Chains A and B, each alone.
Chain A
Amino acid sequence: MPLSKIIKLSWLICIIVMGLTPASLKAQDEEEQEQLRTRASLSSVQKNDNVLDLKMLIRAKIDGRYTGLPGLEVMFYATTDSSQVELGKAATNEDGIATLTVKTQEVPKDTANLMAFAAEFEGNDEFKGSDDDIEIYPAELLLQPIDEDSSRALLLTLVGNGDPVEDEDISIFVKRLFAPLKVGEGTTDSAGEVDIDFPMDLPGDGEGNLEIFARLEDHSDYGTVEVHAALPWGTPVAQLNQDLPKALWSPNPPTWMLLAFIVLMTAVWGHYAVIVYKLAQVKKEGNAE
């Protein structure tokens, strides 16, 4: 075999061997391992008027911490023993939660009125797919405001699968700028009812409206159940503004401040104007000389 062929063959063998070295095999493994495993968690929130929010949280372990993954597409299904109905799809928000709103009367149920849901993230180049499912009965919270002279309260009734639900903890909240503010809690009686006092001194919007909601948290049979209401039970914030007329956000400055500003500015700039006039006189007289 000529020397040149031997050299060429040697090069070819070297390249093939290098291509199969543990380092390159490891690199291929890393490419596969870069696709991170995800965890899916499906939950539900039943609200007034037969509205049901399905919430799918998708997380992955990044830098040692489970972090919600934004921008992933999740498919939601309603399942029965015999079929699976596609409900729709939604993308995860910045917290990694995809939310789909459905009407409970449109969801197929089994003979015991049980609703079964499933949600699936198929996976992509970065993350492996994951799925989860839940089963819940229809439930609702009924809210009745009780406004008396010196006190306010909410009468709440919890109905699960058509029957009153006893001995469950219900909390009431008011929506604030960031997190909801918990303002009271109570336990349902045999009629599924609970009477919770409401504070009288919460600041509301400009007209004193508050966004109030009551919640049964993460129940094993019903999931989370909520009822929302807007009530004029707060202190109008506009009244707070009236107490602070000098505040930076008030539309006009106090009259005395405006007057003081005008007087001071006129006095100083008036002096300047007189001086400029006198300098003009100096120049004029110099020209005459």
Chain B
Amino acid sequence: MDISKKQTAILQKFGPYIERFDARSFVYIFLLSLVILVGLYALIQQILEGHVVTGMRDNVVWGLYIVNFIFFIGISYGGAILAGFLHLFKVPWRRPIMRIAVLTAFISALIGPIFIILCIGRFDRLHYLFIHARLQSPIFWDVVAISTYLVGAIIFMYLLMIKDFAIYRDSDVLNLPTWRRNLYRALALNYQGTESQNRQLSVSKNLIALIMIPMVVVVSSVLSWIFGMTLRPGWHSTIFGPYFVLAAIYSGAAVIVIMMWIFRRSYKLEDYLTDKHFAYMGYILLALGAGYGYFTFSEYLTSWFGSEKWDSEVMEKLFNPDEYGWWFLISNVFSIVIPIVVVAFKKLRTPNLITLSALLLVFGMWIKRYLIVVPTLETPLLPIQDTRPEYIHYSATWVEWALSFAGLATFILFFIIMAKLVTIVTVSDYAEKKN
């Protein structure tokens, strides 16, 4: 197929990054693999000893694993819905961001559900969820929703890559080994750039973008309903559905900003990921941050003012500096105040500061997920006499931390590997504009 001059220039720019693994990549991969290996050792300990090696007990039955699950799956939903909107509305500045957005959606969707499996005491019985499925159970809804979503995320990512695969296959600029060319040939599905093929692909991409947006809203809401439909203080809330959807898009957008900054810096992509791209993503963060702040205020104001007995106990824990007070404050400052302030003032609206605020935002959102899960479980509805303190107060063990960092390392590792297989900027998009 024909490759334009602009596309050739992009391939020449990205050639060194995707043709081979350089020494720096190997060092990163080695270090990340070490972290993953420690996680695997922790996993073996957990399989051999059981969940007693974690901090989870009879009362606090969810801990870091569920926190990480919500965190990663939220990032994935955010990446997918942003990519869906950017594609569907043909946003002019989307081209260098789309690939990062769909990769974020795909990789996070692979890692998030693994934490569910880690949290299940007997994950060898995971298939029971399907063979003994009960449609009435929100847990079953979530399993079906995530499985369906994962398939959608893979299709979405693949559809946005087919044209690029054809370009890599036919490019003379790239010096690729035979197996790579064969791989791209197979993945390109004999795409030759004919009018009919373009039409088929275009319809497919519109269809998947169209379905991903409502699907993300539904699956994110389903996740929130696992909490919202439980009669527990801090969870039983009617706004948990939209609250989770917004938080997911917010954290996903922040991770996209961070990945944009990393690739801009390491691949020297200042011509592609310009300051304007960061500013536009900053505006999205600002709007989402304001909405997220509003939901947060509304959620805690009603609980606090209502002073219902059990709600008050959780509120007390969240506001008390001796319990979760500082973390609650940090979470809200990092995830609401700082991103809004940074983007609102023109002088602060630089790629570096927007990325820094996005980084703090992501950290704040992780804390927020912890504050949703743990304090509620530490507030049992039934008074328990003579119970051991560790059954009421959750404290994550090294096993949980090791597996959490292994999850983060896997996310980065997969991004490094994917960035070696495909260009981080969608090459084919530039030809479309020219035409």
Contacts and interface: CB of A to CB of B under 8 A. Distances in A.
B167 interface: no
B197 A271 contact: no
Contacts of A283: 189-190
A278 B159 CA distance: 11
Contacts of B183: none
Contacts of A11: none
B136 A272 contact: no
Interface stretch (B67-75, B204-212, B240-248, B314-322): B204-212
A278 B190 contact: no
Interface stretch (B89-97, B144-152, B285-293, B401-409): B144-152
For B162, B192, B204, B215, the residue with the greatest tally of chain A CB atoms inside 10 Å of its CB is: B204
Contact of A278 (B144, B191, B200): B200
B88 interface: no
A258 interface: yes
Interface string B373-406: 0000000000000000000000000000000000
B155 interface: yes
Contact of B204 (A265, A267, A279): A279
A282 B136 contact: no
B135 interface: yes
A257 B155 CA distance: 27
Given A279-B189, A285-B196, A285-B197, A271 B136 contact: no
Contacts of B194: 285-286, 289
B201 interface: yes
A253 interface: yes
A284 to B, nearest CB: 8
A281 B144 CA distance: 29
B136 A289 contact: no
Given A282-B200, A283-B190, A265 B148 contact: yes
Given A271-B207, A275-B155, A246 B190 contact: no
A261 B140 CA distance: 11
A248 B152 CA distance: 29
Interface string A264-281: 110111011011001101
Interface in B90-139: 134-137
Given A253-B134, A253-B136, A257-B135, A286 B204 contact: no
B211 A281 contact: no
A149 to B, nearest CB: 37
Nearest to A287: B190
Contacts of A113: none
Nearest to B189: A283
A28 interface: no
B40 interface: no
A80 interface: no
Instruction: Report whether over half of chain B's contact residues are helix, strand or loop; otherwise say mixed.
Output: helix
B44 interface: no
B203 interface: yes
Contact of B189 (A248, A258, A264, A282): A282
Given A268-B148, A268-B152, A268-B215, A286 B207 contact: no
A271 B214 CA distance: 13
B135 A268 contact: no
A265 B207 contact: no
A234 B299 CA distance: 43
Contacts of A10: none
A246 to B, nearest CB: 6
A286 B197 contact: yes
A33 interface: no
Contacts of A282: 162, 189-191, 197, 200-201
A272 B208 CA distance: 8
A278 B203 contact: yes
B77 to A, nearest CB: 15
Interface in A81-100: none
A239 interface: no
Given A268-B148, A282-B200, A283-B189, A248 B211 contact: no
B218 interface: yes
Nearest to A262: B135
Interface string A55-98: 00000000000000000000000000000000000000000000
B25 to A, nearest CB: 32
B189 A274 contact: no
A250 interface: yes
A278 B135 contact: no
Interface in A139-162: none
A286 B190 contact: yes
A285 B193 CA distance: 10
A281 to B, nearest CB: 5
A254 B197 CA distance: 44
Contacts of B204: 274-275, 278-279
Contact of A272 (B144, B151, B189, B191): B151
A289 B208 contact: no
Contacts of B201: 278, 282
Contacts of A289: 190, 192, 194
B207 A274 contact: yes
Nearest to A267: B211
Interface string B149-192: 00110010001001000000000000000000000000001111
Interface string A245-256: 011101001100
Contacts of A286: 189-192, 194, 197
Contacts of A269: 148
Contacts of A287: 190
Contacts of B215: 268
A110 to B, nearest CB: 47
Given A246-B136, A285-B197, A275 B159 contact: yes
A272 B152 contact: yes
B79 to A, nearest CB: 18
A246 B203 CA distance: 40
A285 B203 CA distance: 16
9 contacts: A254-B136, A258-B135, A265-B144, A267-B211, A271-B211, A278-B200, A279-B159, A286-B189, A286-B191
Q: Which 8 residue pairs across A and B have the least CB separation, nearest first?
A: A286-B190, A253-B135, A283-B189, A271-B211, A278-B200, A275-B204, A278-B204, A253-B136
Given A247-B136, A264-B218, A271-B210, 11 more contacts: A253-B134, A261-B144, A268-B211, A268-B215, A271-B208, A271-B211, A274-B204, A275-B208, A283-B189, A286-B197, A289-B190
Interface of B: 134-137, 144, 148, 151-152, 155, 159, 162, 189-192, 194, 196-197, 200-201, 203-204, 207-208, 210-211, 215, 218
